[in-house]
Structure 1
Amino acid sequence: MSLSLKPLDQQVILITGASSGIGLATAKAAAAAGAKVVLAARTREALAAAIDQIKYAGGEGIFVVADVSRREDLEALARRAIDEYGRIDTWVNNAGVGIWGRLDEVSDVDKRQLFETNFWGTVYGSEIAVSHLRRTGGALINVGSVASDAALPLQGIYSASKHAVQGYTNALRMELAADKAPVSVTLIKPASIGTPMPQHVKNYTDREARFPPPIYKPEEVAAAILRAATHPTRQLFVGSAGRTLSALSRQTPRLMDWVGANLLLPGQVGKAPATPTDNLAQGRAEAQLYGDHQGSMIRPSAYTRAATNPAISLGAAGAVAAVGAGLFLWGRRDRARIETSSEEEVQAHPS
């Protein structure tokens, strides 16, 4: 069977971590495009609310309470999707948790728990998805992070998990290609996204987590995911800042060490007190796309629009991301330039 991905309105799309943020944005966008959606997360009330929102807007979908760190939960999720709709066309491994804290402060228990969700949840989901997609064809989409390429202080164990997700995803893609399996494997790499994650992370500091700007809309990640669901794609960055950080980590690692120690480490805690609860070991979601980002603007990404729009030159978008590197690095001195420069240049110079 050759690889051929269906239009969205002919697809059944399964999404983990779908009770808020990126997963919910993807579910809403997919359903609005005519796909049947299967939502999974740990929080029943949030999933029910999410499906209500989708159905109210005219979409079709179901939800299943599942913990991705349990293979048996994901096997039951796949069976439920097939029982309801007869197949799975796209599987999106999006579920993830975060920890804000220095590596020498985070407990071994919490480090292992994060890996259970972020890494093992992706492994289990990928293996179960591929067992179905080998027969019918389709797309496997894993949500990594800019932290798949660039380590982030205070997010050290999160960064390690996303590095692991990238290594696993790339190796799986090679093995499926060797088998000529009709499965597209994509890794999505978002930069800072305006989800409720700052309120959900396990926080070892006394102040609320803060993402480095610029901060992009969750809908931008959803657009990248749905592009990969219909067009075989190896990887997609979401936000020019993510591509910039990735490039700098490869090309100037010592400079990135300095940036991490002097800019990113102090810049990732805000002024608000830390949220007292978290979703590390159990579900905590509210069926909301956005979180509180302490006054930071949550903006669209012209770079991502270019990357997901075949009418716009990816070469031009990549050049803009490279030019934006210096603006990002010196962002503490002039934050307004961080949040506008790369995006405005893509808009001003489309090709």
Structure 2
Amino acid sequence: MSSSTSKVVLITGTSSGIGLAAAVAAAKAGWHTVATLRDPGRADALRKAAAEAGVELDIRQLDVTDEASVAAAVDGVIADHGRLDAVINNAGAGHVGTLENETVDDVRKVMEVNFFGVLHVSKAALPHLRASGGRLITVTSVGGVIGQPFNEAYCAAKFAVEGYMESLAPVAATLGVSVSVVEPGAVATEFVNNIGLDVEAEIAAAGPYGPAMGNYINRTVAQFSNSAQTPAEAAVAVLEALTADSPAFRLQTSDWARGFTGTKLSDLDGSAVLGLTGGWVA
């Protein structure tokens, strides 16, 4: 059991990528780190990274789409550690598709993981974060600021998270809870592989959207090959949100991400964004 003065952070989606890197970084920074993942059988890489860094992690099961799993995980942290000082919502799932070629149920599934999963964890944690004057941090995406071709469902979920947290932030602040979102750009993680995209099959099945999808995929593969951050680099911004005296509400993980999101945030009529993304599929 942690001492009553030791800060405790719970992180979701730590089997790989940013979640894994953030868990190790938080532990190295002196936090009691509860690293959660949907499938404990996928924790080998997490354990190896912790061992190589010389840190200890409290690894637990948590499925963000299952309210009972979320409640059990949060209750377990309080029972074992006595407090909860921060939550990092990192669990998410990628999705590529377009409206005419997928079902509304497909879109609902994307929302369940990327939006409602964040709400499940945040709602369960908030009473404890109020008690500790803690922090609620959510890893979103540059896709939560700028809509991207063939990412309608994914970007819709990330837009929803950003809007929800931006609206919640001033309310939570009245009770001493800091709310932040972290916006990565391209990150060299298993996240992209986990989409399970069969490129040739997707293009063949896209019908009249095939040429545009091919252009989008070629552009995106090139971007990830040439300019993707490492998970550890992206996790620096997550750690800043966790440890800074007065963290910003919105943090990007790279200069590229700052430039990209800045296009939208200074684009009052939307023409700059659509001019940019239209070039991806033309």
TM-score by length of 1: 0.68
Deviation at 1:168, TM superposition (A): 0.6
The aligned amino acid for 2:176 is P
Aligned to 1:261: 278
In 2: Cα distance, 1:94 partner to 1:242 partner: 17
- 1:14 corresponds to 2:42: no
Structure 1: give runs of 5+ residues left out of the alignment: 1-8, 267-351
In the alignment, does 2:275 pair up with 1:249?
A: no
| Alpha-carbon contact 2:16-2:45 (below 8 Å) kept | no
What's the counterpart of residue 252 of structure 2?
Answer: 237
Is structure 2 residue 221 aligned with structure 1 residue 221? no
Letter in structure 2 aligned against 1:260: T
**Deviation of the 1:102 alpha carbon:** 2.2
Call closer, same or farther: CA 1:189–1:211 in 2, change over 3 Å: farther
* Alpha-carbon shift at residue 166 of structure 1 (Å): 0.5
Q: Secondary structure in 2 aligned to 1:212?
A: helix
Instruction: Give the whole-Å Cα distance in 2 for the aligned partners of 1:250 and 1:60.
Output: 40
- CA offsets per residue over residues 171-226 of structure 1, 9 Å max, x none? 1112123xx21211111111111111221015374277737352112112211111
**Deviation (angstroms), 1:48:** 4.7
Q: C-alpha separation between the residues in 2 aligned to 1:230 and 1:23?
A: 16
Q: What CA distance in whole angstroms lies between the structure 1 residues aligned with 2:136 and 2:122?
A: 7
Matched with 1:300 is none
Q: Which moved more, 1:243-252 or 1:167-176?
A: 243-252
- Does residue 76 in structure 1 map to residue 72 in structure 2? yes
Is contact 1:189–1:242 with CA below 8 Å preserved after alignment?
yes
Q: Could you tell me how far apart the structure 1 residues matched to 2:160 and 2:94 are?
A: 15
SS of the residue aligned with 1:210? Answer: helix
**Among residues 136, 149, 156, which one is paired with 2:145 in the alignment?**
149
- What is the CA-CA distance between 1:29 and the residue it aligns to? 1.1
Q: Report the Cα offset of residue 242 of structure 1.
A: 1.6
Report whether the alignment pairs 1:60 with 2:61: no
Paired position in structure 2 for 1:201 = 195
In 2: Cα distance, 1:211 partner to 1:132 partner: 43
What is the aligned partner in structure 2 of residue 184 from structure 1?
178
- Among 168, 177, 181, the alignment partner of 1:172 is 168
Query: Secondary structure of the equivalent of 1:258?
Result: helix
- CA deviation profile, 1:297-351 (whole Å, cap 9, x unmatched): xxxxxxxxxxxxxxxxxxxxxxxxxxxxxxxxxxxxxxxxxxxxxxxxxxxxxxx
> 1:173–1:42: structure 2 CA closer, same or farther, 3 Å change rule?
same
Query: 1:88·1:132 contact (CA, 8 Å) conserved in 2?
Result: yes
Q: Which has the higher strand share?
A: 1
Matches of 2:149 and 2:20, distance apart in 1: 28
| Number of equivalenced pairs | 255
The residue type paired with residue 14 of structure 1 is L
* 2:100 alignment partner in structure 1: 104
TM-superposed CA distance for 1:11, in Å, is: 2.3
Contact 2:9 2:86 in 1 (8 A): yes
In the TM superposition, what is the alpha-carbon distance from 1:81 to its structure 2 partner?
1.5
Q: CA deviation at 1:107?
A: 2.4
Superposition deviation, residue 90 in structure 1? 1.2
Distance 1:211 1:41, change over 3 A: farther
Q: Which residue of 1 aligns with 2:221?
A: 210
1:203 is paired with a residue whose SS is coil
Identity %: 31
Shift in Å at residue 55 of structure 1? 4.1
Gaps in structure 2 of 5+ consecutive residues? 203-216
Take 1:104 and 1:63, find their aligned partners in 2: how far apart are those partners?
Answer: 41
Q: Distance in 2 between matches of 1:111 and 1:183?
A: 31
SS in 1 for 2:187: coil
Q: What is the Cα-based RMSD across aligned positions, in Å? A: 2.1
State yes or no: 1:131 paired with 2:127.
yes
What's the CA shift for 1:69? 1.0
- 1:153 counterpart letter in structure 2: P
Q: Give the drift of 1:245.
A: 1.8
> 1:225 and 1:81 mapped to 2: Cα distance?
21
Which one-letter code corresponds to 1:220 in the other structure? E
**Counterpart amino acid of 1:255?**
A
Q: Distance in 2 between matches of 1:52 and 1:79?
A: 27
Using the TM superposition, name which of 32-41 and 242-251 deviates more: 242-251
